[in-house]
Amino acid sequence: MRNIDNKNNKVKYENLSDRSEKDKPWDIHRKDCDAVSNLYFQSSEFEKYYERMEDCSGRLEFNQLMNRETGELTIKLSKAHFCRVRHCPVCQWRKSLMWKARFYKALPEIEKEYKSARWMFLTLTVENCEITELKSTIQWMNKSFIKMIQRKHFKKNNLGFVKTTEITRSKDGKAHPHFHVLLMMKSTYFKSSYLKTSDWAEIWRDCLNVSYVPVVDIRVVKNKLNGDANKSALADAVAETLKYAVKPADMTKNRDWFHELTRQVFKMRFVSTGGVLKDLFKEETTEEDLLLLSEDNEDDNKEIGSVCFNWYKSKSKYRRKIE
């Protein structure tokens, strides 16, 4: 019997995406990682990044967990190697998840302490620049932002902020750097100091010291989570603020553009915080941080061994062999 079985036993695979709904994004991000690292491979200047990214998250080890009450089986990442190359799509994604987790962990305490505070979501832009001028443009925007937060009106009404930099690529190959800012405002702002979008644009214009009116967007974010952290307006604003700096699709459109972007933003900081949100994030992360180990409630689950999935480049899937 055994012999016959062996003959008919072809190697079978289980896909990570079939095993775990919440781990489906792994395939997408790791595929993006291959596309981006391939661009680094094409230049000796960036070969080191290529080598590090090749080693990124090739093997994922998960703990298998069984819910003590329902018996439901889930898996939770327990071990992986992360390259932490700045533009690595996998590491960018993990970092974003980590930031969001930290924000939501700190949120109840913050909202308890500042009950009447309300969230706003601000987007600040400038005219597109050449990719070779990206660094100086962002430096100038940063200085202008500091001018803005030192103004009386801002100081008087703002409790804290989280600001991130995003860069998109416009059709003509220019760079479009812009800031996403999550603002925590005092309730007095809405009573006596409220500014229209055009007022914010004028302040930003003045801080930039330009003659054109920059595109600015400001909106009030619904304050409460409504019991569902994934569907609230605040969650949308947080997700928009704490996401990638450059989307992978923009990285891979043009090799030379992406190489120049890499040079331009080298060592630049893209996350800053202030006021009562000041110590929420740090930009540097450890491998351990990116595993997001402390994410959920461990007590409900019983560990029942581990399981590993490997990246199959040619299939663009994480899989594991099964007997």
List interacting residues with Zn ion (CB under 5 A).
56, 83, 88, 90-91
Closer residue to Zn ion (CB): 80 or 138:
80
Residue 314 structure tokens:
């040619």
Closer residue to Zn ion (CB): 91 or 122:
91
* Nearest-approach distance from CB 89 to Zn ion, in angstroms: 8
Residue 199 structure tokens:
């007022």
Closer residue to Zn ion (CB): 90 or 159:
90
Going by C-alpha positions, the residue among 136, 155, 38, 28 that lies closest to residue 89 is: 28
Alpha-carbon separation of residue 229 from 105, 143, 164, 272 (angstroms): 11, 34, 21, 23
Going by C-alpha positions, the residue among 286, 273, 291 that lies closest to residue 106 is: 273
Q: What secondary structure, in 3-state letters, does 119-139 show?
A: EEEEEEECCCECHHHHHHHHH
Closer residue to Zn ion (CB): 37 or 157:
37
Closer residue to Zn ion (CB): 56 or 117:
56
d(CA 300, CA 91): 29
Closer residue to Zn ion (CB): 88 or 238:
88
Segment (H or E) for 106: helix 89-113
Going by C-alpha positions, the residue among 290, 254, 294 that lies closest to residue 95 is: 290
Closer residue to Zn ion (CB): 189 or 244:
244
d(CA 115, CA 37): 46
* Nearest-approach distance from CB 105 to Zn ion, in angstroms: 24
User: Are 197 and 113 within 8 A, CB to CB?
Assistant: no
* Nearest-approach distance from CB 79 to Zn ion, in angstroms: 15
* Nearest-approach distance from CB 92 to Zn ion, in angstroms: 8
* Nearest-approach distance from CB 244 to Zn ion, in angstroms: 12
Query: 175-185 and 118-125 as β-strands: parallel, antiparallel, unpaired?
Result: antiparallel
* Nearest-approach distance from CB 56 to Zn ion, in angstroms: 3
Q: Which residues are CB-contacts of 81 (< 8 A; sequence separation ≥ 6)?
A: 55, 56, 57, 58, 59, 287
* Nearest-approach distance from CB 210 to Zn ion, in angstroms: 37
User: Are 251 and 265 within 8 A, CB to CB?
Assistant: no
Closer residue to Zn ion (CB): 76 or 94:
94
d(CA 282, CA 218): 25
Alpha-carbon separation of residue 290 from 99, 121, 282 (angstroms): 10, 26, 13
* Nearest-approach distance from CB 269 to Zn ion, in angstroms: 19
